[in-house]
């Protein structure tokens, strides 16, 4: 939605915004990209994973959308790995639409996360290398990223949500790269050094209970200045927890303990200072006095902004896929926030009618969402909370609106299966201009649906000692099949194939099949086939497994 900031400078457009059958993808993710291109990492290479859902039109559409959109990003947004200077640069948008040829750091962080989880380790290593080479020290003396990077620019900034997303992606990559890869050593050196972004976070938290930062997840879109934002603080908490995990594995127990303690303290401060009287999260506080700014909280870009659900959605990026078992006090606050946002009358009516989870109360007349901060974060949160029937309604809208937007909506894209930035309610037709904004293959608006697919599969390797699998298929989807999915273990990265069927012919009991296709066996495996409370089935020393619900 950041392209809306450009539009808000035009009065006329502001007024316009405020008026009221399964088929294998033509461009499968299983195809290696740019064969023969020299990798930016000496060892890490792309071995793309695939995910296929079945059982309904929604399953078929979503399968093809995630496959073709991911392939589109690699082909259209990412610079070729053979480019010695710009290999690893990934454009936020393409084809001259807003922010083409800029690399937004928050978007690149979540894209790095998905590259890792989908097996594109070569591209992930190149993206991480580009980011490390194009950030400089801020005035405070630490490597922190700006809101976005231009192709050849070297810059610093104060948008800690972008910096934190990048740190998380880098740690995920470090954990899965071969120990012999020089790029892995470089990653650790960058994250471990005295000027590391992690050190900036700890330095800030040594002086104050919350971190301050700017950008979309500071005060909000188009709002200047530093703020104590709940989503940004949640991301810093996750980055510190990821850093602790990395340092523990690397053998620096002192750094691991420090990062872990700072993450825990920040989590407590969020609960204490950023919880409103209604039990939901406060979007942001002023950095100067830690008080809410009514003008910011009631601004058109922040009223009902779905990005606030990112606190819960991004929990999964570091702490795993089972927030219901967490003792962090922020989980019930996040749940309350989701319910509060859902209960806005316009949003509630639109969701009941169409399945659209609108991204704003007022902006764009309340008829607009996106696959990222609106529909995407809500869908991820619903899945993590095991609200699968509601998630089914949201997923159906996402799949259908991606493939067949209102006929009056002019989109420029090469494939009808590409995700795009602005999803409009059918009720928006005739009430407002249907502008495509950043359009198809906007980076963050592909990355978050890719994560939705992973949450539905439910593979959780946040604990290297035990791989967890907790499928969360909405009712309209009966099965999935996964190939070559990379998972981390205490013995190194393994690749697994996975099949799940909820209603197999002649059976009736959910069942799952897992096979390690490359790398070490799984020291421990835990599988949840029924309900949010289990029961869990656990096995040791697993290379193959077949399990049915008890």
pLDDT tens for 326-384 read: 999 999 999 999 999 999 999 999 999 999 999 999 999 999 999 999 999 999 999 99
Q: In the predicted model, is pLDDT for residue 309 greater than 60?
A: yes
Residues 413 and 528 in one domain: no
Q: What is the CATH number of the domain that holds 217?
A: 1.50.10.10
Model confidence at 29, in pLDDT bands (50, 70, 90)? very low
H helices within 153-213, ranges in order? 160-176, 182-192, 197-205
What pLDDT is recorded for position 7? Answer: 47
Distance CA(215)–CA(373), nearest Å, equals 14
Which residue among 395, 423, 457 closes a domain?
A: 457
In a domain, 212, yes or no: yes
In a domain, 273, yes or no: yes
In a domain, 69, yes or no: yes
Mean pLDDT within 127-140: 96
DSSP annotation of 325 reads G
Residues 360 and 489 in one domain: no
SS3 of residue 204 by DSSP: helix
Residues 363 and 299 in one domain: yes
Distance of alpha carbon 387 from the chain centroid: 19
H helices within 315-427, ranges in order? 316-319, 330-342, 345-354, 375-384, 388-403
Range of the domain at 325: 3-457
Number of domains in the chain: 2
SS3 of residue 63 by DSSP: helix
Model confidence at 508, in pLDDT bands (50, 70, 90)? low
Q: In the predicted model, is pLDDT for residue 34 greater than 70?
A: no
In a domain, 462, yes or no: no
Mean pLDDT for all residues in the chain: 91
pTM of full prediction above 0.75: yes
Could you give the percent of the chain with pLDDT greater than 70?
91
Do strands 522-528 and 467-469 pair parallel, antiparallel, or not at all (unpaired)?
parallel
Position with higher pLDDT, 393 vs 41 = 393
What pLDDT is recorded for position 278? Answer: 97
What pLDDT is recorded for position 550? Answer: 72
Name the percent of the chain in helix, strand, coil, to the closest 5. Answer: 40, 15, 45
Residues 52 and 162 in one domain: yes
**Directed axis angle between helix 182-192 and helix 230-250, to 10°?**
120
pLDDT tens for 273-300 read: 999 999 999 999 999 999 999 999 999 9
DSSP annotation of 10 reads S
Convert 238-285 into a string of H (helix), E (strand) and C (coil).
HHHHHHHHHHHHHCCHHHHHHHHHHHHHHHHHHHHHCECCCCCECCEE
Q: In the predicted model, is pLDDT for residue 256 greater than 80?
A: yes
Residues 451 and 489 in one domain: no
pLDDT tens for 42-75 read: 678 999 999 999 999 999 999 999 999 999 999 9
Residues 241 and 209 in one domain: yes
Q: Is the peptide bond before 13 cis (omega within 30 degrees of 0)?
A: no
Residues 354 and 489 in one domain: no
Residues 382 and 500 in one domain: no
Residues 91 and 12 in one domain: yes
In a domain, 469, yes or no: no
């Amino acid at each position: 939605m950041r392209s809306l900031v450009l539009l808000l400078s035009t009065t006329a457009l502001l007024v316009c915004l405020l008026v009221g059958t399964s088929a294998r993808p033509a461009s499968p993710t299983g195809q290696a990209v740019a064969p023969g291109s020299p990798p930016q990492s000496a060892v890490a290479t792309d071995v793309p994973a695939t995910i296929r859902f079945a059982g309904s039109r929604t399953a078929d559409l979503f399968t093809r959308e995630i496959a073709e959109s991911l392939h589109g990003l690699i082909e259209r947004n990412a610079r070729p790995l053979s480019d010695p200077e710009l290999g690893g640069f990934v454009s936020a948008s393409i084809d001259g639409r807003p922010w083409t040829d800029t690399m937004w750091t928050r978007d690149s962080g979540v894209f790095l996360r998905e590259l890792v989880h989908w097996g594109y380790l070569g591209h992930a290593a190149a993206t991480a290398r580009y980011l490390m080479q194009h950030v400089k020290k801020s005035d405070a003396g630490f490597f922190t990223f700006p809101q976005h990077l231009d192709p050849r620019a070297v810059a610093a900034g104060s948008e800690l949500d972008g910096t934190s997303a990048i740190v998380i992606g880098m740690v995920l990559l470090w954990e899965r790269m071969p120990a012999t890869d020089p790029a892995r050593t470089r990653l650790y050196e960058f994250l471990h050094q005295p000027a590391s972004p992690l050190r900036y976070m700890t330095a800030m938290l040594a002086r104050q209970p919350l971190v301050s930062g700017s950008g979309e997840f500071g005060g909000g879109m188009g709002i200047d200045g530093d703020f104590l934002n709940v989503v940004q603080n949640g991301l810093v908490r996750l980055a510190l927890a990821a850093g602790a995990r990395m340092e523990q594995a690397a053998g620096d127990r002192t750094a691991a303990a420090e990062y872990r303690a700072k993450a825990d303290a920040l989590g407590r401060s969020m609960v204490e200072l950023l919880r409103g009287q209604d039990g939901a999260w406060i979007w942001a506080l002023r950095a100067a006095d830690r008080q809410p700014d009514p003008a910011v909280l009631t601004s058109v870009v922040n009223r009902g902004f779905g990005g606030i659900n990112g606190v819960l959605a991004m929990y999964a990026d570091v702490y795993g896929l089972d927030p219901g078992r967490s003792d962090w006090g922020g989980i019930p606050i996040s749940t309350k926030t989701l319910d509060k946002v859902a209960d806005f009358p316009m949003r509630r009516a639109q969701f009941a009618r169409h399945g659209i989870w609108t991204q704003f109360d007022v902006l764009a007349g309340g008829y607009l969402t996106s696959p990222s901060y609106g529909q995407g974060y809500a869908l991820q949160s619903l899945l993590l909370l095991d609200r699968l029937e509601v998630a089914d309604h949201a997923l159906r809208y996402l799949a259908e609106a991606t493939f067949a937007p209102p006929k009056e909506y002019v989109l420029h894209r090469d494939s009808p299966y590409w995700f795009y930035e602005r999803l409009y309610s059918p009720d928006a037709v005739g009430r407002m201009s249907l502008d495509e904004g950043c359009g198809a293959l906007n980076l963050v608006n592909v990355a978050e649906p890719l994560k939705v697919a992973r949450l539905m599969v439910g593979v959780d390797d946040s604990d290297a000692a035990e791989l967890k699998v907790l499928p969360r298929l909405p009712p309209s989807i009966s099965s999935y099949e996964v190939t070559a999915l990379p998972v981390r273990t205490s013995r190194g990265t393994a690749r697994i194939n996975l099949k799940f069927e909820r209603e197999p012919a002649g059976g009736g009991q959910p069942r799952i099949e897992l096979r390690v296709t490359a790398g070490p066996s799984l020291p421990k495996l835990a599988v949840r086939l029924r309900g949010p409370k289990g029961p869990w089935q656990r096995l040791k020393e697993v290379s193959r497994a077949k399990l049915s619900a008890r």
